[in-house]
A and B are shown apart, each in its own frame.
Chain A
Amino acid sequence: MAYLEKKGVYTNVLMAGFGGQGLMFIGKLLAYCAMKRGLNVTWIPSYGPEMRGGTANCTVVISDEPIGSPVISAPEALIVMNNPSLEAFESKLKSGGRLFVDSSLVTRKVMRKDVEVVAVPADDIAMEVGEKKAANLVMLGAYIAKTGVISKEDVAEGLRELFGAKIQFLDVNMKALEKGIQHTKT
């Protein structure tokens, strides 16, 4: 959908995985940081019973103009952290879009040939930094490294504001984010 592309900033991403993997959180974090940079943002969750254990997803739209549809049929980027999410959303990704896959958990083969696949062993990397739950930040690191929508510093500031006093969470999450960025750049 080239006609949706604008001269200014406009992007969107759909993130999906199991409830509890923290995709809703990194979606909110991404939107929050973009808002802090003066951009318009929308964040829409899937909601309901599937949030407990099943597949959860959210859509983030970022733009320097007022946002029309917060619901995106063919996202420009997709972050998936489990097999069911890849199965559910692979076909929806826009042609030429980016597919970020947590390769520690997603064993299913990507079928699309017209998209850029960014495979990140996020759970393994998270284990390395000492917090398995930080795999979501690894994926966010990969996403911002590729898209440049927001910077590492933006995320750091956003995390500081959201975590406040709980510095130990801040450090480990920042480490995970950096690893995600490094992995994707190299």
Chain B
Amino acid sequence: MEKKFMNGNEAIAEAAVQAGCRYFFGYPITPQNEIPEYMSKRMPEVGGVYLQAESEVAAIYMVFGAAGAGGRVMTSSSSPGISLKQEGISYIAAAELPCLIVNIMRGGPGLGGIQPSQSDYFQATKGGGHGDYHLLVLAPSTVQEAVELTMDAFDLADKYRNPVMLLGDGYIGQMMEPVVFEKKPSPILPAKDWTITGAKGRKANLVKTLNLDPVILEQHNLKIQHKLQEMARNEVRVEHYLTDDAEVIIAAYGTVARIAKTAIQILRKKGVRAGLIRPITLYPFPYKAFEDIASRVKKILVAEMSLGQMVEDVKLGVCGRAHVRFYGRTGGMVPSYEELVMETERLVKEAL
């Protein structure tokens, strides 16, 4: 397979096209502009639709309309824009519409900055919009992985009739790396007999989110909950790196996980047996990986480009059986491997 040298944003866009995505609705915001720019050129080539909406709000509802009509559809944005989309994301989850939402995170809150960040973890994994729902959240740490997860995302969305979010920090979008595009065959996916196509020779279909009867709404939410439990059984992805003999674990995702790998190489040369657990699905979260590791490793450093968000899930997984320390940088600052080396050494030396 031919290797291409692309930045993460363009690679995500191309991966989506190759996965059969034919509808893109978006609104410009840094640092993800290469996605809509790429799509504006690429979609017409494959007979698809690119539309620059009047706002992120409009874009996410165009996604609602297109997904409801049975199209393979996506949108992309960055943190402030994703906040604007939250209303629509809640509606999409409620109506059980499959789609991909890409968030190339930048520093917040507010307008914040445009440098890389991971401070939308809570928003992505814990809800973001109102109501009982979750997105399936995928977090790549290389451009190649961003491609593979993007391709999988559409199938996962269709399989569960649930929106999927690809969550990358600014560097995942801006970084260029060699990448190979290879679409795995899709699994057999459920028939889309519920979509809006015109009521020809069948009863009229309805895509809706309104359930005024609390009995019905509870049943609906339980159905969504059941799907989420299915996801937790089937879709958890996590990478273990040098954990077999580890005396200390760094937990990180995305770009920070790569920085942690370099830190771990340095630590090992210095005689510290460090390992990495890297959640790839942030929802469903790999709680079991942390539950298991806590039985033999008693010190875990969680590193994030935030002031401490994923650390809460690590603590839930560990459930008090290991000491969990947090190290984070925020506002677009990126932790260096030296900082992670220092923090890990400090943690290792500490008496518990």
A/B touching: CB–CB < 8 A:
yes
A interface residues with partner B (beta carbon < 8 Å): 1, 3-4, 28, 31-32, 35, 40-45, 47-48, 67-71, 73
What residues on A are CB-neighbors of B177 within 8 Å? 40-43, 67, 70
Contact check: which of A3, A41, A45 meets B266 at CB < 8 Å?
Answer: A3
Min Cβ gap A9→B in Å is: 15
Are A32 and B5 closer than 8 Å at their CB atoms? yes
State whether the Cβ of B175 lies closer than 8 Å to any Cβ in chain A. yes
What residues on A are CB-neighbors of B178 within 8 Å? 35, 40-41
What residues on A are CB-neighbors of B346 within 8 Å? none
- Overall SS of chain A's interface: mixed
What residues on A are CB-neighbors of B262 within 8 Å? 4, 68-69
Residues 147-202 (chain B) with a chain A CB within 8 angstroms: 170-171, 174-178
State whether the Cβ of B270 lies closer than 8 Å to any Cβ in chain A. yes
Task: Give Cα distance in the complex from A67 to B176, angstroms.
Answer: 12
Min Cβ gap A94→B in Å is: 12
Beyond A28-B5, A35-B5, A68-B337, list 8 extra A-B contacts (CB 8 Å): A35-B178, A44-B176, A47-B30, A47-B170, A48-B31, A48-B114, A68-B260, A68-B261
B interface residues with partner A (beta carbon < 8 Å): 3, 5, 30-31, 114-115, 170-171, 174-178, 255, 258-266, 269-270, 334, 336-338
Are A48 and B115 closer than 8 Å at their CB atoms? yes
What residues on B are CB-neighbors of A35 within 8 Å? 3, 5, 178
What residues on A are CB-neighbors of B259 within 8 Å? 68-69, 71
Are A42 and B270 closer than 8 Å at their CB atoms? no
Task: Give Cα distance in the complex from A43 to B338, angstroms.
Answer: 20
Task: Give Cα distance in the complex from A42 to B142, angstroms.
Answer: 9
Task: Give Cα distance in the complex from A183 to B260, angstroms.
Answer: 40
Min Cβ gap B265→A in Å is: 7
Q: A40-B178, A43-B177 are in contact. Are A70 and B336 (CB under 8 A)?
A: no
30 A-B pairs with CB atoms under 8 Å apart are A3-B265, A28-B176, A32-B5, A35-B3, A35-B178, A40-B177, A41-B176, A42-B175, A43-B175, A43-B176, A44-B174, A44-B175, A44-B176, A45-B174, A47-B30, A47-B114, A47-B170, A47-B174, A48-B115, A67-B177, A68-B261, A68-B263, A68-B337, A69-B259, A69-B263, A69-B337, A70-B177, A71-B255, A71-B334, A73-B338
